[in-house]
């Protein structure tokens, strides 16, 4: 009976000391990354509809449409699985492919500015709104991923998480954070209306 009480007492003590924080935070990182992927997939699903709508109005802007289609194809062809966030090189390649798609979509929006009749088309307006919303969702999902990585990395680098990490979870690596892949992304763009 005393052993049972001792075991129960120790288990209660251990549950309050953070022994489960590391796996919990690791799962939050994985979940947050899944949400980033979910939003990228949403964008990839919207792009063909946007391209098809623009195609009818801007046939002569074929190179921009091809760039968008190729960027989407490159993103779609990448092998994305749960190991992606464990391999910094693959994660960077994935981020670069997503950045190329973002750049191609930005060029497409510039093309659209040249076609007032396209801007007033209800299908296009709905798709543009969906795409803008998706870009915002991607930004929020990245922010949430960054926060989850921060919580996880902080836990395994501070007391008592550092002890639990070295004893029980040494196979769980420090996670790399999301990084902007565009050269000069930290500098705000210059807007000139001349």
Percent of the chain exceeding pLDDT 70 equals: 74
162-193 residue pLDDT tens: 888 998 899 999 888 777 665 655 554 454 43
Residue 27, pLDDT > 90, answer yes
| Mean of pLDDT values over 24-34 | 92
Spatial CB neighbours of 109, under 8 Å, sequence gap ≥ 6: 128
- Each residue of 96-113: pLDDT tens digit? 888 888 888 877 777 767
More confident residue, 33 or 46: 33
pTM of the model: 0.63
The SS3 of residue 46 is helix
Separation of alpha carbons 26 and 90, rounded Å: 19
Strand, helix or coil for residue 45:
helix
CA distance 166 to 113: 56
150 by Cβ neighbours in 10 Å (0-12 / 13-18 / 19+) ranks as middle
- Report yes or no: 85 and 175 within 8 Å, Cβ to Cβ: yes
CA atoms lying within 13 Å on the CB side of residue 156: 21
């Amino acid at each position: 009976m005393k052993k049972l009480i001792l075991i129960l007492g120790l288990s209660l003590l251990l549950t309050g000391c953070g022994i489960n924080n590391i796996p919990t935070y690791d799962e939050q990182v994985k979940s947050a990354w899944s949400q980033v992927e979910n939003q990228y997939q949403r964008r990839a699903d919207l792009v063909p509809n946007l391209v098809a709508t623009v195609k009818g109005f801007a046939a002569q802007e074929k190179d921009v449409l091809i760039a968008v289609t190729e960027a989407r194809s490159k993103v779609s062809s990448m092998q994305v699985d749960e190991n992606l966030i464990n391999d910094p090189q693959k994660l960077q390649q994935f981020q670069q492919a997503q950045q190329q798609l973002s750049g191609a979509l930005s060029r497409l929006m510039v093309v659209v500015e040249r076609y007032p009749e396209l801007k007033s088309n209800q299908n296009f307006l709905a798709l543009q709104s969906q795409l803008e919303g998706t870009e915002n969702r991607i930004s929020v999902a990245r922010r949430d991923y960054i926060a989850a990585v921060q919580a996880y990395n902080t836990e395994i680098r501070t007391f008592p998480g550092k002890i639990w990490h070295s004893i029980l979870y040494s196979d769980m690596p420090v996670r790399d954070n999301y990084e902007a892949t565009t050269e000069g992304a930290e500098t705000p763009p210059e807007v000139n209306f001349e």
